[in-house]
Amino acid sequence: MTSGSSSQQSVGLAAKVGAGVLALWGVLHVWVGVEGARQFATNGTRALWTMFLGGANAPVSAYQHPTDAVTSTVQGHLALNFCLDVGAAGLLGLALAWMIWKQASWSAYFIALVVIGVIDNAFLFTQVTPGLIALDAGTIGGPVLWAVACIVTPFGLPSIRAQRPVGASSVPA
């Protein structure tokens, strides 16, 4: 069996819990994308930056917004791009959660482990840890949810060793 043949693979409770946690991670990240786009569209660059700033080393009150239009436009679009990328990562998380839940997909698990791990840990160690973005439930929640999903999910997926290549017979020769 391959990770894509869902009809013959059993998805255990742990994998369903992990997929549910990963789906929650996805929803929260889609929200960041939508809220960032909303802030940018309705209130501009300042509102978008205010949505993020607030860490110990970058309080909102100390941040000096650019005064020239070009720099402000560039910063606003970079921040908007960040939000849209976060939202897209959330959609990826939702797709992977579905593949784990419905197809017992080890491939989806490994993509979540590596790709979402890089995304969340890059954010954690480049933005939160240096104190640029506030350390709070919202910013630490994503990495915690990702870690829980990564730890729990394998216990509910079928054994990788039991999987056979496509076309392999289950009857001994």
**Per residue in 23-52, pLDDT tens?**
999 999 999 999 999 999 999 999 999 888
Q: pLDDT at position 161, please?
A: 75
pLDDT, tens digit, 9 for 90 and up, residues 81-104: 999 999 999 999 999 999 999 999
Q: Rounded to 5 degrees, what are φ and ψ at 132?
A: -80, -40
Q: Rounded to 5 degrees, what are φ and ψ at 20?
A: -65, -40
Domain boundaries, the chain: 13-156
Are 131 and 55 within 8 A, CB to CB?
yes
Residue 129 pairs with which residues in a beta bridge? none
Q: Is the dihedral of CA 111, 112, 113, 115 positive or negative?
A: positive
Q: pLDDT at position 52, please?
A: 85
pTM of the model: 0.85
Residue with tokens 């954690």: 124
Q: Count Cα atoms within 13 angstroms, Cβ side, for 110.
A: 5
- 64 versus 5: the higher-pLDDT residue is 64
